[in-house]
Chains A and B, each alone.
Chain A
Amino acid sequence: MSQPLWEVFVRSRRGLSHTHVGSLRAPDAHMALRHARDVYTRRQEGVSIWVVPAAEVVASSPDEKDAFFDPAGDKPYRHPTFYTVPDEVQHL
């Protein structure tokens, strides 16, 4: 009688994104949220919590990471450091 697995995300303070902190088992979303509060925010580590059913997470595969992320590898012109600017030119 295994309970579903939930991934827990915590916003540590206003102005920051939610960050993955771990997982837990709980029978439903409501219990998962309360459980997450007790397990992951006992010392005011968060101001907001998301719980997401682990089964619903769609992830890229580490096996195809080269093919998946390579297209960005040969495009250095997307970075500001690609461009030469003379020293005397300011504010650029």
Chain B
Amino acid sequence: MTAVVPARTPEQEFQDRIDADDRVEPRDWMPDGYRRTLVRQIAQHAHSEIIGMQPEGNWITRAPSLRRKVILVAKVQDEAGHGLYLYGAAETLGADRDELLDMLHTGRQKYSTIFNYPTTSWADVAAIGWLVDGAAIMNQVPLTRCSYGPYARAMTRVCKEESFHQRQGFEAMMTLCHGTATQKRMAQDALDRWWWPSLMMFGPNDDASPHSAQSMAWGIKRFSNDELRQRFVDATVPQAQFLGLTVPDPDLRWDGKHWISGAIDWTEFQTVMRGDGPCNRERLRHRVAAHEDGAWVREAAAAYADKHR
């Protein structure tokens, strides 16, 4: 007599695949929640990349040398490319690109709060590369092993390119720190303003992050927010010391194993998240204007394509 093997439900088969560290591909069956979570996360990630072009794009015309200028142009172009890889990945889940852009433009989908801070000096461009891209790499490297294939593959491409972003930032920071007293002050001022927002990029503390457990079970998230934040602090504090800069955290201390930072002011994070950061309105307004101003190009290209069909 053959044993009757109870049939596995689609949910069980799906979880088996995740637990076996196998990848989910676009046409596989997946729970609605998994699909929704991924679309939201990938879209928010894509939006962050293209909004992220603005703070740095602000300095392209005023870069201090031709060398710095070509580097910055290449970096900002990469951010556009990263946005496009990610919108492509979101589309494999059935999302519509125009609809995603519309959700960004109408504020129904968010982007990283970090891009709502202004870049008031050239040193901010250096600090963004070093800190913001550094934090992004910490977040993104584990995503190259995310359970959803197209997202993981897009992140592999992004991470390869992001490493240049961080290094050029650190190099520019180093140049300022080895420069005049004024340049060094600019570097310190940039670190003072970007340090805490960079730490907030990892998201709320673990005890205040209700969706993390499900994302972990689904293999979307591999490490908790606090774990990744700790890695960033451990990696970055010695870099600041190397530069001869002071991390703006009076409570920062070495516990023998890790650099322990003071408490993060989450009310600031909430304020920026709500739309009341220094540049929220400006960023969105600029994004919408760029989209609307480009409408005639898209229309002309479509008319040309129709004519030659």
Contacts and interface: CB of A to CB of B under 8 A. Distances in A.
A38 B77 CA distance: 9
B98 A61 contact: no
Contacts of B21: none
Contacts, number: 52
Interface residues of A, number: 20
Given A27-B301, A27-B302, A62-B27, A22 B91 contact: no
B116 to A, nearest CB: 27
Contacts of A27: 298, 301-302, 304-305
Contacts of A59: 27
Contact of A5 (B28, B77, B91, B304): B91
B34 interface: no
B78 A42 contact: yes
Main secondary structure of the interface of B (DSSP, over half): helix
Interface string A34-64: 0000110011000000000000000101110
Interface in B143-193: 150, 153-154, 157, 161
A12 interface: no
The size class of the interface chain B forms with chain A is: 20 to 34
A90 interface: no
A28 B97 contact: no
A24 B88 contact: yes
B308 A28 contact: yes
B266 interface: no
A31 B303 CA distance: 13
Contacts of B248: none
Main secondary structure of the interface of A (DSSP, over half): mixed
A28 B309 CA distance: 9
Interface in B81-103: 81, 84-85, 88-89, 91-92, 96-98
Interface of B: 25, 27-29, 74, 77-78, 81, 84-85, 88-89, 91-92, 96-98, 150, 153-154, 157, 161, 298-299, 301-302, 304-305, 308
13 contacts: A1-B98, A2-B96, A3-B301, A22-B150, A27-B305, A28-B301, A28-B305, A28-B308, A31-B305, A38-B81, A42-B74, A43-B161, A62-B27
Given A1-B298, A23-B91, A27-B298, 7 more contacts: A3-B298, A3-B301, A28-B304, A28-B305, A43-B161, A59-B27, A63-B29
In order of increasing CB-CB distance, the 9 nearest A-B pairs are: A28-B305, A27-B305, A27-B301, A23-B88, A22-B88, A62-B27, A27-B302, A62-B28, A39-B84
